[in-house]
Structure 1
Amino acid sequence: MDDQNRNLLLATVLSGVVLLGWSYFFPAPEPVEAPEAVATETALNAPATAPQALAAGDATAPQSETSEAPRLAIETPRVEGSISLKGGRIDDLRLKDYRETLDEESPIVTMLRPAGEADAYYTLYGWAPGAGLGLDDVPSANTIWSAPAEATLTPDSPVTLSWDNGKGLTFTRTVSIDDNYMFNVTQSVQNGSGATVALAPYGTIARHGEPSDLMNFFVLHEGVVGMADGELAEMDYGDMTDFDPDPRDGSQSEITAVTEHGWIGFTDHYWMSTLIPAEGQPFRAIAKYDARRDIYQTDTVLPTMTLAAGETAEVTTQLFAGAKEWATIRNYERGGIYGFLDSIDWGWFFFLTKPIFAALHYINAYIGNMGLAIIGLTILIKLLVFPLAYKSYASMAKMKELQPEMEKLRERAGDDRQQMQKEMMELYKREKVNPAAGCLPILIQIPIFFSLYKVIFVTLELRHAPFFGPFQDLSAPDPTSLFNLFGLLPWGAPAPESILALAFIGIMPILLGISMWLQQKLNPAPTDETQAMIFAWMPWVFMFMLGSFASGLVVYWICNNVITFAQQYLIMRSHGYTPDIFGNIKASFQKKPKTEEK
């Protein structure tokens, strides 16, 4: 087997190893035992049947009870929705800049939904009662708050909610929002009761059941995402159902004590909601699942505050609810939210995916077309690895020149493989050739390829990103096929999961197969018939296999193959070996003579 063929086999094997390795996830961290705190337990473990339940206890209330409560409108350049005065819930939020499909008439993306609707998903804030207080003394998820009539939350006008418990405690909640997706929630309480009281502020994000659009794909994390003392933590929905049950109410939870650098929430493919205490603020991050009502929730519970008579306490936390835009989240991180950019699922190769996406983002900002940006990124990557590629292809050209001498060595050594290996190593040393040099571009290309696959699959910026003609979503498979005359007819290609998709393959996968096939023709076919058959089929197998991949990734691979072909041809030719491309193509169509029977 010559070295080029060995390198191709090695690439195939390594690709399989990476695919298998990627399917494993890091084990979830061991739960941290939190010290006892009556306020926390009361708020988060209140009986589900109690009307005063403070967390998601009343989340199963009929839709009418939530939707018919008074509401305050939310209106900004990028979001719209409303806040329910029942519980002061932020439970109605839509993203103006994003639609559900490419159709310009399709609905805009809904981020949060009230209890009672399908895929209910909302936030709650409140105070957990401590010493000297009972459940009736603090606002609950059912409390009807007061607010100025016709108040509307905008970037320029916060809204303030208030509630008096009738026993001397006055609670207020001021909500503001910026031009993007960040809410600031300031909770305050004034103690006019004449006695010392203790209570703890908290925030909750609740989801009723798993999201209906859950992808459950190994390359994408969906579920809980959080930062605790600088350490990123991720939990799938299935992980939450494995928590140890609380004997008091059967709910399952994991509690993490955070001293600084912390936030927690839920992440979807492109959207996210996150509770963010102030930087340096200690709190308890709680991931919880209530099997009785099929409710998933995350909570941030701040330390208990003790208020003497006449004192006032105030705390401000943040809520991110919106699209996982790289530039927007990066700005929040630069504004003081530690590690917030890690809320985007960069994966195991984060040291590659982060800079790759940053480069893609800036190239796209300059060019204005994501498909061309991918081509530009491919050229940039090929330039960066060119020194290694040069050494590799130069070594391969030298190996081709040494083929006659190597054949003589084989004839002299006969069946003495040890002697043949010894003489070959001496030949390599004398001619200053490294037979393993051809592997270097392949070894580098594999993690780059999977990193780009990750970037294209998980980042919002590729969603609905157009290229040209029928290619209007580079995060989706090629929409063309013979079925629609490669985009000329006004209907789509067969769905990727359909068996028809195998027969009606698109333009880009076909170009990919051709580019791989031409790249093979830089070298003669292997003399071994089995190897020759494997390599003959490989481009077409990849063509069909990658037909269902994101078209942006196929654009990258086609461009990479074309550049690699040109590089290899020119470098090998400059070192005295001219690949006989047309001869190799011609030979691949010639029938081999049948072996005579003995």
Structure 2
Amino acid sequence: MDDQNKNLILATALSFLVILVWFVLFPPPEPDVALETPPAQQSTDGQSAVIPAAPENAASAPLSTEPVASDAAMEEAPRVAIETPRLTGSISLVGGRIDDLKLKDYRTTLDAGAPIVTMLSPQGSNDAYYALQGWAAGAGIDPSAVPGPDTDWTLAEGDTLSVNQPITLTWDNGAGQVFSRVIAVDQNYMFSLTQSVTNNGSGPVSMAPYGMIVQHTTPDDLENFFILHEGAVAMADEELAETDWDEISEAELDPKWGRQAIVKEDVAAGWIGFTDHFWQAILIPLGGQPFDQALTYDARTDVYRAVTRMPTQTVAAGASVEITTQVFAGAKEWAMLRQYESAGVPKFIDSIDWGWFFFLTKPIFWLLHELNKLIGNMGWAIIGLTLIIKAILFPLAYKSYVSMAKMKELQPQMEKLKEQAGDDRQKMQQGMMELYKKEKVNPAAGCLPILLQIPIFFSLYKVIFVTIELRHAPFFGPFQDLSAPDPTSLLNIFGLLPFQGPEAGSIMALIFIGILPLLLGISMWLQQKLNPAPTDPTQQMIFAWMPWVFMFMLGSFASGLVVYWIANNTITFTQQYLIMRSQGYTPDVFGNIKSSFSKKSKTDTDG
């Protein structure tokens, strides 16, 4: 077996092994059963919302446990409509909750008449998910005299929340303090909530503002795919933390917060919330004051909370204070998150799950995004991205293919060495090393470009899978969602008939393979034919099966990734053919194809 074939087999086998391990053998762990809350944390009404207890320092006000309105009360609560170019929904006047929100620009599927995506939903609905704000009582004020999750607010100004049309909610506690909440929304998905309190009492009062994103039960629609983070995401002083749902539910009981909790105190700048594949709800405190972050879980009610708790405010008699918090609830659009980051939300772009190869996924996505803006088609943008990547790697590829061409020229001398060495493998290896040194040939150069493709492949897969810009992105014809597997198959005559092929991952999908995986297998097979088949039977078998194994294995991947792989193989074939020919070696592609079929026929005859 010559070293060139050894290197090619090593690189191909390694590529196959890494992909197989990552995408087949590492299924996500099953979520653990939630632990029961200790009896001391249970309440008699069965509907408690524990606001975090204060850290033990003089600047913090103690917080209390407050009852939450019943599901029936929430259903009957008066509401204020939300209507913007990109959002529709309503705000409940019970608690002032942003708990009914839909995204106009996104639909659940590509089917005609598919409903728009639901972002937030009120308590009592399946997978209740909402944002709320409140105050925690401190010195000089009773816990029932501060607004919380079930306070009945009054609409004071505005009738519909829209862009440039905020609404104002008020609540008078009857004890001398009047609370106000002004809610505004921009043209995208960012809400601004300005809470204020005016103290008309005779003495000072202290209280601490807080915000929450609340998720009732673990979400039903989790994808549970290891390459994707689903759960909590937080930025604390430029440190990103991604926490899975089961990590929150398995956290230790924190007496300061009255729950199982994961806490980060005294954060100077940051944000916290919950995220899934394409959508997120995030709390963003403003004002430059340090705050505490927490992820809490109540196992008895199966409720998760992402909490921000700001410093205690002491309000003198006759004085007022206010504090503003932002709430983002919407799609994780790259360009929009960058705008918010430029406007002061620290590292907001990192709320997208860029993964371990973030140093590759971020620039790859930027380039893909810019190409799509220029071309106007994400499929062609992927092909353009492939051309650029191949151009960047061309110097290395050139050296590799030149080395391969020289290896071909050395074949007669290598055959002589084999004859002279006989069974003496050490003598054979020494002779080959001297020959390589004399002719300045690096036998390892042939596999390096293939190895470099592995992190690029994973990074592009990550980009295609996690970014919303690829969701429902069309290419042409039947390929209307590059983030989904190839919808064609032999059953629908590769997309000519107006119905979907078999479901991705099913046995039928493996049998009736789509046109993109088929083209992938053919392109890999043709790339092999640039070189004669190895003489070793084991090598022959590996080479014969490899393209078709990859074809079936990658058939259930996102079609955008398969488009990249086909383009990559096609460009690699062209580069290798032209470079090797320029070095005096012309690959006999048709001869190698004919030879491979002749060997099969001979084997069949001998059998």
Same fold flag (TM > 0.5) = yes
Aligned residue for 1:147, secondary structure, equals strand
| AA partner of residue 326 (structure 1) | W
What residue in structure 1 maps to residue 375 of structure 2?
Answer: 367
1:36 and 2:56 are equivalent in the alignment: yes
**Equivalent residue in structure 1 for 2:475, among 464, 467, 471:** 467
For residues 293 and 40 of structure 1, what CA distance do their matches in structure 2 show? 27
**Equivalent residue in structure 1 for 2:180, among 172, 179, 183:** 172
For residues 258 and 340 of structure 1, what CA distance do their matches in structure 2 show? 19
Q: Are the aligned partners of 1:39 and 1:199 in contact in 2 as well (CA < 8 Å)?
A: no
Instruction: Report the CA distance between 1:482 and its aligned residue.
Output: 1.0
| AA partner of residue 36 (structure 1) | E
1:418 and 2:451 are equivalent in the alignment: no
For residues 55 and 74 of structure 2, what CA distance do their matches in structure 1 show? 35
Q: 1:19 to 1:505 in 2, by over 3 A?
A: closer
What residue in structure 2 maps to residue 76 of structure 1?
Answer: 84
Q: Are the aligned partners of 2:61 and 2:206 in contact in 1 as well (CA < 8 Å)?
A: no
Q: 1:438 to 1:344 in 2, by over 3 A?
A: same
List runs of 5+ in structure 2 lacking aligned partners. 29-52
For residues 471 and 287 of structure 2, what CA distance do their matches in structure 1 show? 32
Identity of aligned residues (%): 64
Aligned ranges 1:36-185 → 2 under 5 Å: 36=56, 43=63, 46=65, 52-53=66-67, 57-58=68-69, 61-62=70-71, 64-148=72-156, 151-185=159-193
Q: 1:352 to 1:248 in 2, by over 3 A?
A: closer
Instruction: Report the CA distance between 1:497 and its aligned residue.
Output: 2.9
Aligned residue for 1:537, secondary structure, equals helix
Instruction: Report the CA distance between 1:417 and its aligned residue.
Output: 2.3
Instruction: Report the CA distance between 1:414 and its aligned residue.
Output: 2.2
1:483 and 2:484 are equivalent in the alignment: no
What residue in structure 2 maps to residue 318 of structure 1?
Answer: 326
What residue in structure 1 maps to residue 33 of structure 2?
Answer: none
What residue in structure 1 maps to residue 407 of structure 2?
Answer: 399
Question: 1:215-246: per-residue Cα shift (whole Å, max 9, x none)?
Answer: 01000001000101110000110111110024
1:11 and 2:12 are equivalent in the alignment: yes
Instruction: Report the CA distance between 1:67 and its aligned residue.
Output: 2.8
| AA partner of residue 278 (structure 2) | Y
Aligned ranges 1:509-548 → 2 under 5 Å: 509-548=517-556
What residue in structure 2 maps to residue 49 of structure 1?
Answer: none
For residues 238 and 544 of structure 2, what CA distance do their matches in structure 1 show? 50
**Equivalent residue in structure 2 for 1:574, among 563, 576, 582:** 582
For residues 456 and 175 of structure 1, what CA distance do their matches in structure 2 show? 35
Q: Are the aligned partners of 2:136 and 2:146 in contact in 1 as well (CA < 8 Å)?
A: yes
Instruction: Report the CA distance between 1:549 and its aligned residue.
Output: 0.5
Instruction: Report the CA distance between 1:250 and its aligned residue.
Output: 7.2
**Equivalent residue in structure 2 for 1:198, among 206, 209, 223:** 206
What residue in structure 1 maps to residue 557 of structure 2?
Answer: 549
Q: Are the aligned partners of 1:39 and 1:130 in contact in 2 as well (CA < 8 Å)?
A: no
What residue in structure 1 maps to residue 35 of structure 2?
Answer: none
Q: 1:138 to 1:37 in 2, by over 3 A?
A: farther
Q: Are the aligned partners of 1:262 and 1:277 in contact in 2 as well (CA < 8 Å)?
A: yes
Q: 1:342 to 1:163 in 2, by over 3 A?
A: same
Aligned residue for 2:555, secondary structure, equals helix
1:430 and 2:438 are equivalent in the alignment: yes
What residue in structure 1 maps to residue 593 of structure 2?
Answer: 585
Instruction: Report the CA distance between 1:416 and its aligned residue.
Output: 2.5
1:308 and 2:319 are equivalent in the alignment: no
For residues 308 and 149 of structure 1, what CA distance do their matches in structure 2 show? 26
For residues 453 and 287 of structure 2, what CA distance do their matches in structure 1 show? 40
Q: 1:315 to 1:424 in 2, by over 3 A?
A: same
Instruction: Report the CA distance between 1:15 and its aligned residue.
Output: 4.8
Aligned ranges 1:231-270 → 2 under 5 Å: 231-246=239-254, 251-270=259-278
Q: Are the aligned partners of 1:155 and 1:177 in contact in 2 as well (CA < 8 Å)?
A: yes
Aligned residue for 1:81, secondary structure, equals strand
Instruction: Report the CA distance between 1:39 and its aligned residue.
Output: 9.4
Aligned ranges 1:324-343 → 2 under 5 Å: 324-343=332-351
Q: Are the aligned partners of 1:286 and 1:300 in contact in 2 as well (CA < 8 Å)?
A: yes
Query: Aligned Cα RMSD in Å?
Result: 2.2
For residues 247 and 182 of structure 1, what CA distance do their matches in structure 2 show? 33
For residues 320 and 249 of structure 1, what CA distance do their matches in structure 2 show? 24
Q: 1:410 to 1:440 in 2, by over 3 A?
A: same
For residues 279 and 480 of structure 1, what CA distance do their matches in structure 2 show? 53
For residues 367 and 578 of structure 1, what CA distance do their matches in structure 2 show? 36
TM-score by length of 2: 0.91
For residues 572 and 587 of structure 2, what CA distance do their matches in structure 1 show? 14
Instruction: Report the CA distance between 1:280 and its aligned residue.
Output: 3.6
| AA partner of residue 436 (structure 2) | Y
Question: 1:104-144: per-residue Cα shift (whole Å, max 9, x none)?
Answer: 31111010000000111001100011122222110121111
For residues 17 and 226 of structure 1, what CA distance do their matches in structure 2 show? 30
For residues 296 and 135 of structure 1, what CA distance do their matches in structure 2 show? 23
Q: Mean Cα displacement is larger for which, 384-393 or 427-436?
A: 427-436
| AA partner of residue 584 (structure 2) | G
Aligned ranges 1:554-569 → 2 under 5 Å: 554-569=562-577
What residue in structure 1 maps to residue 391 of structure 2?
Answer: 383
What residue in structure 2 maps to residue 298 of structure 1?
Answer: 306
Q: Mean Cα displacement is larger for which, 421-430 or 286-295?
A: 421-430
Aligned residue for 1:269, secondary structure, equals coil
For residues 250 and 590 of structure 1, what CA distance do their matches in structure 2 show? 76
What residue in structure 2 maps to residue 30 of structure 1?
Answer: none
Moved over 3 A (4+): 17-25, 37-43, 246-250, 591-595
How many residues matched? 577
What residue in structure 2 maps to residue 442 of structure 1?
Answer: 450
Q: Are the aligned partners of 2:352 and 2:467 in contact in 1 as well (CA < 8 Å)?
A: yes
For residues 523 and 545 of structure 1, what CA distance do their matches in structure 2 show? 24
List runs of 5+ in structure 1 lacking aligned partners. 26-32, 47-51
Question: 1:540-591: per-residue Cα shift (whole Å, max 9, x none)?
Answer: 1111111111111100000100000000000011111111111111111124
TM-score by length of 1: 0.93
Q: Are the aligned partners of 2:287 and 2:324 in contact in 1 as well (CA < 8 Å)?
A: no
Q: Are the aligned partners of 1:289 and 1:295 in contact in 2 as well (CA < 8 Å)?
A: yes
For residues 183 and 129 of structure 1, what CA distance do their matches in structure 2 show? 25
| AA partner of residue 83 (structure 2) | E
Q: 1:249 to 1:338 in 2, by over 3 A?
A: closer
Q: Are the aligned partners of 1:465 and 1:474 in contact in 2 as well (CA < 8 Å)?
A: yes
Instruction: Report the CA distance between 1:539 and its aligned residue.
Output: 0.6
Q: 1:17 to 1:489 in 2, by over 3 A?
A: closer
